[in-house]
Structure 1
């Protein structure tokens, strides 16, 4: 009898759409002789929904949930959190599947395959929930996941362990909002980290909230900081100059959590759950006031990182745990992007960036990258697999900057790209991840994991 695999995708983070695409890939490529896939859509309110498989093949989440036909702003589809807080969501859930509770997970599947990214999925929160109910799951445990998402703690840990890290400084939201002189703060940043520098959120992935500032430009600096915090200032002049088409384009960007700050958001002393409410607020506000107004995401970052820009060749290296406590690093992939910033669009839209695996380096440098990737994997006590990103500088210095305990599962991901170099197709790789994860959970005392592993090994 095949093992039932609950595929968790979607989620509450800004990376929900890439997680949605990854869940679909896992669903399509899971070996049906060994496993029965059970799609578990996690919505942006934290509901777990046993979703009808037909909805996996929609382009984006908000096309079908809540429903582009009934939840939209001037034709722009909304996410479920953009509906009024008093709105009943039960009907929307019933339309696409069935809500299930964590205490009942074992009734629907045997092991959880995690495709969630960012906060509430890749930070140890979901891992902790599954551990509470002794449900086996894929990938790293609570501690590695928590360390892997916290870029601030990572830098401290890497530096203490002897890894190279770029000069950096932290900027807290309270400090930024209470600043008296933007020029003076910019001078302090340049003195600390130099030019150009990178402004980025401390708990986001997929290059969301990342900007490179190339020169002493207070406006560019302010824009970059606001993007990293997920806040935005709108002035009287800019609002009044918006034609209807411009206003619609602005709302379209604002609604999308990848590009804008998303909803709900804070404006002055109240929460706006919908674009309609924000439009009404801004219309009334600018009838009486000329001062700019600040919009802040309810999921805004409390602190952001500003660090020196690293001149070098950018790479990503997948590490697999061939046997427990014996990780191997796959051939690293280089991103050929020219002068393009490797942002969300460059990462996930085909044709923008070319990937080369393995990157064109001497065998000794390739080995050095792989050894450092393994060392970081072990430092964070990762399990099963991880994706380690970094740069190699013109002086052949290796700088690792972003360990990910849940690698992307979309078809063009580094995970599948590099696994192909060692002869593993996507179906074989997913089987490996499940088998290795069951071994890890068994050794952690999960009774169910041991029996599932025996069943899988017998089938293999």
Structure 2
């Protein structure tokens, strides 16, 4: 069955749609479905996307293509929305760079079924559903009517109330009333009717876009939040002119972010402005206040009273008879008032507790309420329903979503795992149930019936397959600051392998400490807990909640049909037990343990093949100081550096500081010497910040020292390890080079005919940091980082090759000097001079690089023709060949 995955779109949620579409593309069972990527751009063009672009970090990384981008003096990426002057012929040329333009009537030639991963207007509002029905293409999820209701929070609120469900106090504020009336009077009326805190919502947005909470009795703050939800921002000219050029670029980057700011194009005092450069130039000339207003805005806002209590989210699905079944509701524990974009999609920021920590009768009441609302709104197939349990025990339901987010960490997969379905199996269930639902419409009855029969035959064949697969133990977690990203990497590897016909993945969680590693085989529901700490907590007090038992019973027919050979219980094991359980290991750990050779040592004792470099190489690359020293001895450029030890610092801090300042000059880069993932990497601009960094690194207790954290501008929940030493490096700068950029380059190793290792160096990505250093979010959060692949060394192709070859040669030499095997990621800065001479300064080497869905190593492998599964397959094959050579 050719499954067209519709993703991207025209809404402010297009990046989450893009990332969710990639998840669906990767997880569809390859023995049943052929995934067909249908990307929808900002203007509604349907594009049969070349598969390589699916693995870009963000839409802006590939669309619009660089040759169609307006000339710019800043690194801010734009969407195609800004290209308002292209002719139809120019659009055709642009689209041809990334795929094939399709008209709606051509869709039937390419897809049998449409899987909708679109969010917001045009995707969840019935528009695309109506178009697909017109052309006779069955689609996933809810039909036209429930979709139209589900997109409008105001209509939802009225229907929820009319159906007898409790709702918070609410009022509607129109843009006309806001513009015409006194702001203070509006505030006083709403405060009297709604009270404080009050919730301000843009009614047609999802992913918490345009949602704010007013806690303080402050009319000016109220006005600012109202403007934010209308996607309006007022710029004070004196404040603007006080910014440095760098601060202006950062300000504009936030302002034009479609998730939090007004976006682009934008009306500036009614003048339409399309690009960041034009906006900066315009603001530089203004003497009076400027109002910026988005093209994508709202005509009304929904103002609600704040509900004190526990927030939850519940996925409701249908059984094969069309009856709703509410999966276990998840409690959301946030680090701030609003469960915002960052909290939703970056692992480790918020906590998801499944089921919600409430009495059984309360949980069952939530499930009954969600199922009843599902029926009342005539939703079908599935929905995500959010709500609150008030402090008085009252259940409030709000915001039914007819298309749930589909990132690996989303509620969609998180709750399905509780009944034993992995993402691949759950997607098969959604497709089968959607076909049955479309059958009820009476349209295209014969063809849909035939599709259902063929799909059922395939599903039955899967259950009876006895073919031998290679059992791969995926080791994830750990106990370092990188444990959450490790879990995200491990889950991604699991999902890529679970939809294959070659491998059977077995998730293994590692915890404990340096002295003693503890290993656990995980069932799917525990593996898909929100982060490493949630998994560890669940293992320390493992029991099956009675509600989960009940839901498993209710879903028994579903799990028996879709979840063959599932691991259903966790098991504590020793390394020695792995011999009987797995044929190979994929170490998805980052930092210590994993990249330090400790796990590799244990696997080698057992003769189990594994991914990545061997023990000795890992022991060097885990230590950034030793790596720098070894590379420098072989003539490879690295930053000037110095190790700072706790004992010396505490004994004579002033002397240590004096030595540092004599050897290195501010600003400096301070970082842990044996951690990665941008954990605790800070730009140190003066002595106060140096002392704060050392104080935090050498702190005696795990909790932050508040005054030091304040000096370093640490975020809440930011990972900052305790160490006995750390590394200081010179800040690598442009100097007299013509061009300067930060890159990250991946590689893959192969054995040639003589058994010698050959290095395949990928085209590096150019990493654009929005802050002083590349952040955790920019590296691993879908839609967040800006990575240009290949890196932009030069403008001409012939000059590019000359520079690129020099850079690749340095990366190759680095890998050879450090005896890297399998695969790796190497971070570096590149200076390019007028004569095209390139200096590549190595920053860091990761022997087990992050393998999250959004990491840029997949952008690089795609250029060389590897889909993520193919890349993982090559990594595993190398590990298995290596152990065969060793044993011989």
Residues 340 and 169 of structure 1: CA distance in aligned 2, closer, same or farther (over 3 Å): closer
Alpha-carbon distance in structure 1 between the residues aligned to 2:368 and 2:147: 21
Whether 1:149 and 2:151 are equivalent positions in the alignment is: yes
Instruction: Indicate the SS of the match to 1:323.
Output: coil
Shift of 1:230: 0.7
8 A contact 1:84–1:274 mirrored in 2:
no
User: Where in structure 2 are the equivalents of 1:167-316 lying within 5 Å?
Assistant: 167-180=169-182, 182-284=183-285, 286=286, 289-290=287-288, 292-316=289-313
Q: Which moved further from structure 2: 410-419 or 441-450?
A: 441-450
Deviations 1:404-441 (A, max 9, x none): 00111110010100001001111111001000111111
User: Where in structure 2 are the equivalents of 1:55-204 lying within 5 Å?
Assistant: 55-67=53-65, 71=69, 73=72, 74-86=74-86, 88-180=90-182, 182-204=183-205
8 A contact 2:68–2:94 mirrored in 1:
no
8 A contact 2:265–2:272 mirrored in 1:
yes
Deviations 1:187-234 (A, max 9, x none): 111001000111110110000001110111122111111111111111
Within the candidate set 314, 318, 321, 2:315 is matched to: 318
Shift of 1:12: 0.4
Alpha-carbon distance in structure 2 between the residues aligned to 1:13 and 1:309: 27
Within the candidate set 400, 413, 423, 1:426 is matched to: 423
Shift of 1:236: 1.9
Whether 1:327 and 2:324 are equivalent positions in the alignment is: yes
Give the gaps of 5 or more residues in structure 1: none
Deviations 1:16-55 (A, max 9, x none): 0011110010011101111100011111111111111111
Instruction: Indicate the SS of the match to 1:402.
Output: strand
RMSD (Å) for aligned C-alpha atoms: 1.4
Instruction: Indicate the SS of the match to 2:97.
Output: helix
Alpha-carbon distance in structure 1 between the residues aligned to 2:303 and 2:333: 24
Alpha-carbon distance in structure 2 between the residues aligned to 1:212 and 1:225: 10
Shift of 1:92: 2.6
Instruction: Indicate the SS of the match to 1:152.
Output: helix
- The equivalent residue for 1:32 is 30
Q: When the two structures are superposed, what TM-score results if normalisation uses the length of structure 2?
A: 0.50
Alpha-carbon distance in structure 1 between the residues aligned to 2:4 and 2:418: 28
Number of aligned positions between the proteins: 453
Within the candidate set 339, 344, 365, 2:341 is matched to: 344
Shift of 1:319: 0.3
Whether 1:409 and 2:410 are equivalent positions in the alignment is: no
Alpha-carbon distance in structure 2 between the residues aligned to 1:241 and 1:69: 34
8 A contact 2:76–2:276 mirrored in 1:
no
8 A contact 2:335–2:349 mirrored in 1:
no
- The equivalent residue for 1:450 is 449
Alpha-carbon distance in structure 2 between the residues aligned to 1:29 and 1:266: 41
Shift of 1:75: 1.3
Give the gaps of 5 or more residues in structure 2: 460-888
User: Where in structure 2 are the equivalents of 1:44-63 lying within 5 Å?
Assistant: 44-63=42-61
Residues 249 and 68 of structure 1: CA distance in aligned 2, closer, same or farther (over 3 Å): farther
Whether 1:11 and 2:12 are equivalent positions in the alignment is: no
Deviations 1:390-409 (A, max 9, x none): 00012211001110001111
8 A contact 1:67–1:77 mirrored in 2:
no
Shift of 1:113: 0.1
Shift of 1:340: 4.2
- The equivalent residue for 2:825 is none
- The structure that has the greater radius of gyration is 2
Alpha-carbon distance in structure 1 between the residues aligned to 2:409 and 2:86: 40
Alpha-carbon distance in structure 2 between the residues aligned to 1:85 and 1:277: 15
> Which runs of at least 4 in structure 1 moved beyond 6 Å after TM superposition?
none
Residues 324 and 293 of structure 1: CA distance in aligned 2, closer, same or farther (over 3 Å): farther
Instruction: Indicate the SS of the match to 2:357.
Output: coil
Shift of 1:324: 4.0
Instruction: Indicate the SS of the match to 1:77.
Output: coil
Shift of 1:70: 5.7
Deviations 1:100-150 (A, max 9, x none): 111011100100000000001011111111111111000001100010111
Shift of 1:68: 5.2
Shift of 1:274: 2.0
Alpha-carbon distance in structure 1 between the residues aligned to 2:335 and 2:260: 22
- The equivalent residue for 1:353 is 350
Residues 394 and 183 of structure 1: CA distance in aligned 2, closer, same or farther (over 3 Å): same
Shift of 1:91: 2.8
Deviations 1:258-283 (A, max 9, x none): 02111112223332222233333333
Deviations 1:75-105 (A, max 9, x none): 1111111234236333331111111111011
Q: Which moved further from structure 2: 86-95 or 147-156?
A: 86-95
Alpha-carbon distance in structure 2 between the residues aligned to 1:241 and 1:314: 41
Deviations 1:328-372 (A, max 9, x none): 000011112244421111111111001111112221111100000
8 A contact 1:136–1:446 mirrored in 2:
no
Alpha-carbon distance in structure 1 between the residues aligned to 2:115 and 2:315: 18
Higher RCO, Cα 8 Å, sep 6+: 1
Alpha-carbon distance in structure 2 between the residues aligned to 1:104 and 1:264: 31
Instruction: Indicate the SS of the match to 1:453.
Output: helix
Residues 278 and 338 of structure 1: CA distance in aligned 2, closer, same or farther (over 3 Å): closer
Alpha-carbon distance in structure 1 between the residues aligned to 2:267 and 2:307: 35
